[in-house]
Amino acid sequence: MALTTTPGTRQRLLDIAVRLFARHSFAGTSLQMIADELGVTKAAVYHHFHSREELLNAVIQPLVEQLQTIVAAAETQRSRHARAEQMLTGYADLVVRNQGLMGVLGGDPGVIDMLRAGDLARLTDRQLSLLAEVNPGPGGLVKAAMVLAGIAGAAGHGLVGVDDDTLREHLIEGGRRTLGLRPPRSPVPLQGRRV
């Protein structure tokens, strides 16, 4: 069966690839397996992606772009605590929105090796710096690495019975505790302000 080039075809390929990468690992998933899952020929998959690596890059590119925006926004904050808070909350939001992909990115050695070689490695260093500056020195760096890995790992496990808002709340709270950050002050609701 031929794979028609409709606007949703590429996204279907990406979605199936993520599911198969999560189930069989990146190294354990072939383009033929993806074609079989879609019910098309391998040649039809090649029409869109010529290798698993190209497919993985297409899967993670939107995530990388969103992460670049989060890091850039955090870097504009005035204090180190505000930068860390912005980085932590932005990262937790991103991870919760992409839970299916996080298990693949954080738990597959083949994917991790591939990601370390690209732009994502430099972006990860910027994330670590933003979180680590709350506690300068080796301890801060260790805590920052624990927070990034812990958030990705917890969300990547698909915790049954935990809704997205609850997961996000607990990821941020755990990150704050690990980093030693206090929650930001909440603005006073309008009805509670004196005029």
Range of the domain at 39: 9-50
Q: What is the pTM of this model?
A: 0.80
Let me know whether 13 and 82 are in one domain. Answer: no
**What pLDDT digit, counting tens, does each position of 99-134 carry?**
877 766 665 666 666 666 666 778 888 999 999 999
Q: What angle do CA 53, 56, 59 make, to 5 degrees?
A: 155
Task: Tell me, yes or no, whether 20 and 75 share the same domain.
Answer: no
Same domain for 25 and 77, yes or no, is no
pLDDT, averaged across the chain? 82
Is 184 a domain residue?
no
**Number of structural domains, the chain?**
2
Condensed to tens digits (0 to 9), the pLDDT of residues 22-68 reads: 788 788 888 899 999 988 888 888 888 888 888 888 888 888 899 99
DSSP 31-82: HHHHHHHHTS-HHHHHTT-SSHHHHHHHHHHHHHHHHHHHHHHHHT-SSHHH
Higher pLDDT, residue 60 or 93: 93
